[in-house]
A = this chain, B = another copy of it.
Amino acid sequence: MNSVSTQVHLRSRPTGWPTERNFSLETVSLQPPRAGEVRVRNEYISVDPYMRGRMNDVKSYIPPFALNEVMTGGAVGRVVESSDDALSPGDAVLHFQGWRDVAQGPAEQFTRLSPESPDIPLSAYLGVLGLTGLTAYVGLLTIAEFTEGDTVFVSGAAGAVGSIVGQIAKIKGAGLVVGSAGSADKVRRLTDSYGFDAGFNYHDGPVRDQLADAAPDGIDVYFDNVGGEHLEAAISRLRDGGRAALCGAISTYNSTERTPGPSNMANLVTRGLMLKGFTVGNYTEHQPEFTREMSGWLAAGRINWDTTVVEGIENAVEAFLGMMHGKNTGKMLVRTGAAD
């Protein structure tokens, strides 16, 4: 069973927006697991903004995807065959073998997810309880040095990370939490589901003006998922001693030209502002504290989180592009649905 794995490979490096032609769907026959190996039927795979950077052949904090190999990344599934004592069929696991419906390899590449709460679906480990949630937690609390009473602005606020940032800020005692998103529906979710005090649609007018209306006394913390105009607007509104955690700049990832930076960098000096970028992989020491706090908040019903699910490994590229275009609310996932 499952002796075939359907996988998405990177065929060529995109210039600007990726297209389906940059990828290929491959079918690979699997040998029976050797000693120490397991076979896993994936349930969900994760598509994330950072993957766009890995499609380029540039030095970065993680190496680029290899051409004609599978798109690696986070995935969750269940063990279907095991030749290792550490894992048994039926075990739920997290791994990074990415865009394929069946994964196989040494048992140490698969992390058992246990103990599981019956209320927490496997998909949560790719989102609110996974690196997505940890990114929100570390970015707000460690990087931006959030302090009780701060006014917080989050861009991409209806996305997987942004929606969690806003809720953690409220739980931790923020004075005012403002988010921006790209549709009226998403803006509604900010206040209706994610606990934001105010939100606006960045298509409705200049970010700077809308932010000034939503937070007339300025902001203390900015959590940046977007870059570009949003970052410039935040720098114009950050108060003395304000801090920005730079998590990503999705507005620029598919740009083929150099994007000019904020024209108001002088504010950093006169107002004593800090901009600090981060990637969550350097902050995994916060994982135990995060897991403890987030599990408690989830058990208490204090965090809402959404997933947008695309069906079928063959639609992974479509899911990725949809996420880059903002078609998701919350975490974008692909349900791989491998046949037994």
Contact = CB atoms under 8 A, between A and B. Distances in A.
Number of this chain's copies in the assembly equals 2
A254 B265 CA distance: 15
B272 A268 contact: no
Contact of A263 (B260, B266, B270, B274): B260
Nearest to A268: B277
A79 B53 CA distance: 65
A266 B232 CA distance: 14
Interface stretch (A146-154, A242-250, A310-318): A242-250
Given A240-B61, A276-B274, A247 B260 contact: no
A279 B268 contact: no
A277 B282 contact: no
Contact of A227 (B53, B241, B266): B266
A71 interface: no
A232 B261 CA distance: 9
A248 B270 CA distance: 9
A252 interface: yes
A268 B246 contact: yes
A269 B261 contact: no
Contact of A274 (B231, B267, B275): B275
B269 A263 contact: no
A101 to B, nearest CB: 30
Contacts of A53: 270
Contacts of A263: 258-261
A117 interface: no
A286 interface: no
B265 A276 contact: no
A270 B227 contact: no
B278 A272 contact: yes
Nearest to A282: B272
Contacts of A270: 53, 60-61, 277, 279
Contact of A261 (B240, B261, B272, B273): B261
A172 interface: no
Given A258-B263, A260-B261, A261-B261, A273 B268 contact: no
B265 A249 contact: yes
A279 B275 contact: no
A18 interface: no
The 3 closest A-B pairs by CB, nearest first: A261-B261, A268-B277, A260-B260
20 contacts: A61-B271, A232-B261, A241-B282, A247-B269, A248-B269, A249-B265, A249-B269, A252-B266, A258-B264, A259-B263, A259-B265, A260-B260, A262-B265, A267-B277, A268-B277, A269-B278, A272-B277, A274-B275, A274-B277, A275-B275
